């Protein structure tokens, strides 16, 4: 009987491993098959001009001899009389963040968030503050926070953006732990991936992609934000000094970016995998209470975050794909969007959960899966 148990255990382990390898192989095949010849020709690139014909590319404000020129070129000046500040909702590196109303040229009022530059600033602080507006003003996508305009000709200097009612994604998920269906969570992840695909196509590398830097509106639409800290991470509570002297949010950052400061769309893909984990765990802290140094050493030794409870196998395999050590093996954002679309169109593909495979015998797992699929299609 003991021998039979041992054999059964071995069979279960083989089936589990086979299933994981099969899902992972399908993931890799899917991403490779979806890659166009043009994408195959693209190499990893850094921030700045990405000369892809026919594609609008990001222009780094730091390349301007006079940074105020970038502000004039990429933003719209707003008459401060059209802005009504209502209440303080937070504080940023440069001053207060308020909610309020903006009267549009058509006399319609819209809800906005207003970042203000505190008094007593020096010119460098003003330039750094407006740099974020110069970046945001170049983007136009439903999953990227929208810049309404700036106030630069009077005081206080302001950046005005669309208002996102539910705030940052990490806090929102913690406040609504367990309230959403898997499909709703996948929809959020799809929105973030779509925004990142847009940025990647423009040649922009975010460098600080994390749930805390995703904003959520009243319709659960997720939008990538916080472009002011894409290079300067001094204000990020998760940023830690590295051996190279820069500050990096270790838990969200790819190994090559931590060790050699090699930031690219591939390092953003690694961070996206961490965001997936944050979403599926309802805002848990990646790597829990491990120290930053332990996180770095563990990743180097091959450790990867386990699937959160209730996480479908397909999503955890995508996370692991994003966390490939070799950056050229990580998925492109265009493939991530296509893959998530496929999951949304075929909800039954989200039924196998990681803990089911770990918890049940082969027979029990097949029964659970068949019951779920039966209930799904009744």
Binding-site annotation: residue ranges for ATP? 115
Q: Could you give the angle at the alpha carbon of 83 between the alpha carbons of 78 and 86, nearest 5°?
A: 150
Query: Which of 305, 321, 270 is closest to 44 using CA atoms?
Result: 270
Query: Which of 221, 228, 250 is closest to 238 using CA atoms?
Result: 250
Question: Residue with structure tokens 């106030």?
Answer: 151
Q: How far apart are CA 333 and CA 49, in angstroms?
A: 19
3-state DSSP call for residue 171? Answer: helix
Q: Could you give the angle at the alpha carbon of 224 between the alpha carbons of 221 and 227, nearest 5°?
A: 155
Active site residue 208: yes
How many Cβ atoms are within 10 Å of 323's Cβ, its own excluded?
20
Peptide bond into 264 cis (omega under 30): no
Q: How far apart are CA 307 and CA 21, in angstroms?
A: 16
Q: Are 174 and 131 within 8 A, CB to CB? A: no
Among residues 208, 236, 268, 335, the one annotated as catalytic is: 208
Q: Are 50 and 64 within 8 A, CB to CB? A: no
Residues marked as catalytic: 208
């Amino acid at each position: 009987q003991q021998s039979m148990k041992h054999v059964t255990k071995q069979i279960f382990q083989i089936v589990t491993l086979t299933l994981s390898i099969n899902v992972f192989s399908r993931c890799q095949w899917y991403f490779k098959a979806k890659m166009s010849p043009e994408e195959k020709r693209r190499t990893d690139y850094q921030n700045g001009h990405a000369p892809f014909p026919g594609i609008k590319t990001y222009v780094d404000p730091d390349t301007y001899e006079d940074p105020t020129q970038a502000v004039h070129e990429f933003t719209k000046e707003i008459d401060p009389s059209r802005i009504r500040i209502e209440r303080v909702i937070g504080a940023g590196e440069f001053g207060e963040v308020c909610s309020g109303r903006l009267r549009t040229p058509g006399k319609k009022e819209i809800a906005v968030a207003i970042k203000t530059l505190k008094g007593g600033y020096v010119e460098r602080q003003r330039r750094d503050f407006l740099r974020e507006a110069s970046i945001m003003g170049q983007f136009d996508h439903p999953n990227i926070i929208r810049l309404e305009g700036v106030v630069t000709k009077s005081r206080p200097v302001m950046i005005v953006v669309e208002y996102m009612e539910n705030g940052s994604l990490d806090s929102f998920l913690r406040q609504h732990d367990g309230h959403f269906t898997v499909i709703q969570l996948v929809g959020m992840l799809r929105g973030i991936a779509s925004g990142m695909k847009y940025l990647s196509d423009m040649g922009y590398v975010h460098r600080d992609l994390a749930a805390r830097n995703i904003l959520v509106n009243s319709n659960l639409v997720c939008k990538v934000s916080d472009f002011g800290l894409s290079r300067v991470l001094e204000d990020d509570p998760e940023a830690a000094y590295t051996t190279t002297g820069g500050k990096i949010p270790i838990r969200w950052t790819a190994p090559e970016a931590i060790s050699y400061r090699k930031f690219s769309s591939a390092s953003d893909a690694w961070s996206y995998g961490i965001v997936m984990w944050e979403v599926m765990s309802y805002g848990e802290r990646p790597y829990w209470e491990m120290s930053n140094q332990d996180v770095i050493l563990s990743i180097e030794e091959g450790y990867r975050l386990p699937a959160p409870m209730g996480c479908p196998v397909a999503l955890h395999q995508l996370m692991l794909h994003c966390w490939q050590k070799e950056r050229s093996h990580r998925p492109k954002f265009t493939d991530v969007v296509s893959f998530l679309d496929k999951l949304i169109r075929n909800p039954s593909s989200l039924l196998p959960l990681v803990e089911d495979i770990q918890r049940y015998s082969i027979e029990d797992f097949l029964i659970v899966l068949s019951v779920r699929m039966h209930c799904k299609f009744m």
